[in-house]
Amino acid sequence: MNEKDDDAGTNPNPTLSPVASALLAELRQGYLAPEGTPGLDELVPLRLSSRDPITGLYGVTHLRHAERTYLQQEYARIEEALKRARGMSDLIAAFENPFSFRGITGVERLANKAAVNAAIQRATSVSTSHHYSSQINERRKEVIEPATARDIASLERGIKQRTIYPESARTRAIERAYVAEVSAHGAEVRTTSYPFERIIILDSKVVFVLDYAVPDEEDNQPALMITDPSLVALLCRIYDQQWERATPWVGEAPAVAGDEITPRMWQVIKGMWERVPLKTIAHNNGVSLSTIHGDRQKWFNLTGARSEMQLGVWYVSKEGTELRRLAE
């Protein structure tokens, strides 16, 4: 037996025979064992005994040091085994569909906004063909600003982009600026009237839709990630239908022709801005309330506004002010 045996192969199981246990007890009392003593072949590999280079005899080692050395080596071997296991998983994943998420049968519920964003980010990172989406809500500045650079980079990589917005987006300067910039890099954008569905399609292989089976949770709405080919094909068809009935938009402001606006319509929007009840506006103009409601709806159609607040923003905008001046 020699010192190189200490580091050869893997660690043995930390068990001792009665003979080795008895020898260890003797060594701890100061006994020095000559080479070949029964039990040394068990103690030395566990570093419980070592050879004195001068006398050639074997004595006891520091037991806690032997323990630490043994544990460090075993933990290192465990880490190496885990690395190999992860490597095997990565190897297999490289040959699978990049959109196949572990444990999915075709539909997975994403419980909150964080889970939705993480899944979309992962799927987007491996897509190679196109990103199609429809945005049903107003996109805030803190969302649009980082999205602009990201979407332009995606377009420059050759990813085709299509987005559907509500008509009211044409009245919002932030969204107009974003659409103008991405359109200049090849993105296709259209607007449509409500109702239409919020959909995100990546390479026509994975689709994200809102989960309507649970109550609306405002800004933390759950969603469904769908990879089942039949369901994906259905949702792509629905998106295509929404796209076909939408109107192309490259970021221009809504065009409102002055000759489409009657003097009474100006009275209606002015009264709405001044918070005059619609019944009073109808009485002052000598028409029915339904006629005033019709004029109100025409304003929404002409400006693309979705609410009276958005209509008020247009009314005091540069375009609205200029048209009022021309009408006076």
pLDDT of amino acid 218: 56
Q: Please state the rounded mean pLDDT for residues 309-320.
A: 83
First to last CA, the chain: 111
Question: What is the pTM assigned to this prediction?
Answer: 0.52
C-beta contacts of 91-100 below 8 A and 24+ residues apart:
97/205, 98/126, 99/123, 99/126, 99/202, 99/203, 99/205, 99/206, 99/227, 100/227
* Main-chain phi, psi angles of 200, to 5 degrees: -125, 125
pLDDT of amino acid 3: 44
State how far the Cα of 101 lies from the Cα of 103, in Å rounded to an integer.
6
Q: Which residue, 138, 164, 130, is CA-closest to 239?
A: 164
State how far the Cα of 65 lies from the Cα of 71, in Å rounded to an integer.
10
Cis amide prior to 34 (ω within 30 degrees):
no
In the sheet that 199-202 helps form, which strands lie side by side, from edge to edge? Answer: 107-110, 223-226, 206-210, 199-202, 130-134, 160-166, 188-192, 247-248
Q: Which residue, 232, 299, 245, is CA-closest to 267?
A: 299
State how far the Cα of 304 lies from the Cα of 150, in Å rounded to an integer.
28
State how far the Cα of 325 lies from the Cα of 328, in Å rounded to an integer.
5
* Main-chain phi, psi angles of 58, to 5 degrees: -105, 130
pLDDT of amino acid 276: 93
175 Cβ contact partners less than 8 Å away, ≥ 6 residues apart: 138, 139, 144, 165, 169
pLDDT of amino acid 97: 56
Model pLDDT for residues 208-232, shown as the tens digit of each residue:
999 888 766 556 778 999 999 999 9
pLDDT of amino acid 100: 53
Whether residue 164 contacts residue 196, with contact meaning beta carbons closer than 8 Å, is answered with yes
Model pLDDT for residues 69-123, shown as the tens digit of each residue:
888 888 888 888 888 888 887 777 666 655 554 444 788 888 888 889 899 989 9
Q: Please state the rounded mean pLDDT for residues 272-292.
A: 91
pLDDT of amino acid 257: 56
What b/e readout covers 29-49, taking b as 16+ CB neighbours within 10 angstroms? eeebbeeebebbebbbbbbbb
Q: Please state the rounded mean pLDDT for residues 177-201.
A: 90
* Main-chain phi, psi angles of 111, to 5 degrees: -75, -20
Whether residue 70 contacts residue 185, with contact meaning beta carbons closer than 8 Å, is answered with no
pLDDT of amino acid 236: 95
pLDDT of amino acid 231: 92
pLDDT above 50: residue 36 = yes
State how far the Cα of 129 lies from the Cα of 157, in Å rounded to an integer.
10
pLDDT of amino acid 103: 46
Does domain 258-327 fall into CATH 1.10.760.10? no
pLDDT of amino acid 260: 72
Q: Please state the rounded mean pLDDT for residues 179-205.
A: 91
pLDDT band at 255 (very low <50, low <70, confident <90, very high): low
CATH topology of domain 107-248: Endonuclease; Chain A (3.30.870)
| Mean predicted lDDT score pLDDT of the chain | 85
Consecutive H or E run containing 165: strand 160-166
pLDDT of amino acid 96: 60
Share of the chain above pLDDT 90, in %: 36
91 Cβ contact partners less than 8 Å away, ≥ 6 residues apart: none
pLDDT band at 138 (very low <50, low <70, confident <90, very high): confident
Strand-pairing partners, residue 163, are 133, 189
Domain ranges of the chain: 1-95, 107-248, 258-327
Helix 318-327 vs helix 263-273: crossing angle, to nearest 10: 130
Q: Which residue, 164, 322, 171, is CA-closest to 257?
A: 322
